[in-house]
Amino acid sequence: MLSILGFLTIILFMYLVMTKKASAFTAIVISPIIFAIIGGFGSNLGPMMFEGIELVAPTAVLLLFAILYFGIMMDSGLFDPVSRTILKIAKGDPVKIVVGTAILALLVALDGDGTTSYMIICSAMLPIYKKIGINPLVLATISVMALGTISGMTPWGGAATRGISVLGLDASNYFVPLIPMILCGSLFIIVLAYVMGRMERKRIGIAKIKEASAEIAATITENEVTVSWKIWFNFLLTLALLVSLVMGIAPLPVLFIIGFVIALLVNNPKIKEQQELIKVHGSNAIPVVMLVLGAGIFTGILSETKMVDHMASDFLSIVPEAFSPFFTVIVAVISLPLSFLMSNDAFFFGALPVLAQAAAEYGIDPVEIARAGVIGQPLHSMGPTSAPLWVLLALVGKDLGEFQRFALGWLILLSVALIVFALLTGAITIAW
């Protein structure tokens, strides 16, 4: 009975979200409440929901201040020198431009917001692509790969935040072992960019490249800008923040609170400026923080009513015992098509808790299931449920079918490589 109620909760939630009958926040709160009442748990709903909220509170704090922090970094132009340096070094060579695009995309994706990342990358690089004749779908593909790998897997990005909150994980424990895999994935994206650039160089031809190179060089010289001391300060502050994260000097939410306060005082010393900045970037953070708190209610009810335990038992009954050591790999493989087809809300709030509970029966830590689950993010970023993708397609002037035909092979190659890197670096393991 409890298993049926649990699956009905997930089905209702996914139906409401995927048919846009309700917002993700509304759906994730109301769905478990309805079936908990049907199951006779109405009188205990308050403590159950609060238990879940307490579980996700650190993640909500982390997300709020990470978004505010990277908002300051973007406003200060932290990545502008990178963009200009790439153009200077590239000198019109498609290979260098495409590789530079990958480096810029990987850095900008640290912001965690897909729409912002795509707008920055396209504004910096798309005019160059058009001038030289590089296929804009190359830019779109690289941007999607970078966003899925960086924003999709960092604990302040939307997908990982959902996984961390719904499974009640510690952000540092989730993220630090994942860093080597992310770095390997980033290098692999640069390698793929090099291959695409070689293909574009051959297609365009040397004559056209030389002609466009002279125009680009003249434009860069005319618009030369001096790097301010604030950009250097912000760079060192961000570097110190990432080093502190890896060293575990303090919990991740605390690090971002401190980093935000320092960045705010240096970049926006006037109180009026600070209030305006918080108002602008806080509007981006609030919907996601609400969603995390809603996930706490969802998790609290499903856990405390034991629905998720019964669901996991039923799921285990259809998985052959011989496959149990490879369960994390199975989850990683499953995450590829599911992430492509489903919204992050549906996958991380609906499917992942069941997979994690089933893994626990085999003695597998839920944190590995969270890491395996985010491996599907590059494919999710090119799927129809990824809202920022539609902004990207509008910017490059291509339709979804055209983009997916071009990008699918590259994204599948990256996804397979990420699974291999995850195993090699120990982000996920095989329980021999």
52-56, 308-312, 363-367: range with highest mean pLDDT: 363-367
pLDDT band at 205; cut points 50, 70, 90: confident
pLDDT of residue 193: 95
103 contacts: CB under 8 Å, gap ≥ 6: 82, 86, 190
- Range of lowest pLDDT (75-79, 121-125, 309-313, 333-337): 309-313
75 contacts: CB under 8 Å, gap ≥ 6: 267, 277
Q: What is the pLDDT of residues 279-304, one digit of tens each?
A: 888 887 787 788 778 878 887 888 78
Residue 136 near residue 406 (C-beta atoms within 8 A): no
pLDDT of residue 294: 84
Mean pLDDT along residues 370-377: 90
Mean pLDDT along residues 107-121: 75
201 contacts: CB under 8 Å, gap ≥ 6: 93, 94, 95, 209
- Range of lowest pLDDT (44-53, 224-233, 263-272): 224-233
Q: What is the pLDDT of residues 152-179, one digit of tens each?
A: 888 877 788 888 888 888 888 888 899 9
pLDDT of residue 336: 86
Among residues 169, 175, 293, the alpha carbon closest in space to that of 241 is found at 175
Is 113 a residue whose pLDDT tops 70? no
Percent of the chain scored above 90 by pLDDT?
A: 18
- Range of lowest pLDDT (90-94, 258-262, 263-267): 90-94
pLDDT of residue 312: 62
pLDDT of residue 201: 85
Is 253 a residue whose pLDDT tops 80? yes
CA torsion 143→150→11→340, rounded to 10°? 40
Is 121 a residue whose pLDDT tops 60? yes
Is 223 a residue whose pLDDT tops 60? no
| E strand or H helix that includes residue 226 | none
Residue 392 near residue 143 (C-beta atoms within 8 A): yes
pLDDT of residue 405: 87
56-70, 334-348, 387-401, 402-416: range with highest mean pLDDT: 402-416
Tokens 């893994």 correspond to 359
How far is C-alpha 1 from the geometric centre of its chain's CA atoms?
A: 36
Is 182 a residue whose pLDDT tops 70? yes
Is 341 a residue whose pLDDT tops 80? no
- The larger pLDDT score, comparing residue 262 to residue 126, is at 262
Is 221 a residue whose pLDDT tops 60? no
pLDDT of residue 98: 92
Provide DSSP, 67-80. Answer: HHHHHHHHHTTTTH
CA torsion 402→202→131→106, rounded to 10°? 70
pTM of this structure: 0.70
pLDDT of residue 107: 87
pLDDT of residue 403: 86
- The larger pLDDT score, comparing residue 237 to residue 251, is at 237
pLDDT of residue 18: 67
Q: What is the mean pLDDT of the chain?
A: 82
DSSP 8-state assignment for residue 147 = I
- 3-state secondary structure at position 248: coil
Secondary structure of 350-392 as H, E, C letters: HHHHHHHHHHHHCCCCHHHHHHHHHCCHHHHCCCCCCHHHHHH
pLDDT of residue 179: 92
Dihedral pair phi/psi, residue 139, rounded to 5°: -60, -45
Mean pLDDT along residues 136-155: 91
Dihedral pair phi/psi, residue 80, rounded to 5°: -60, -45
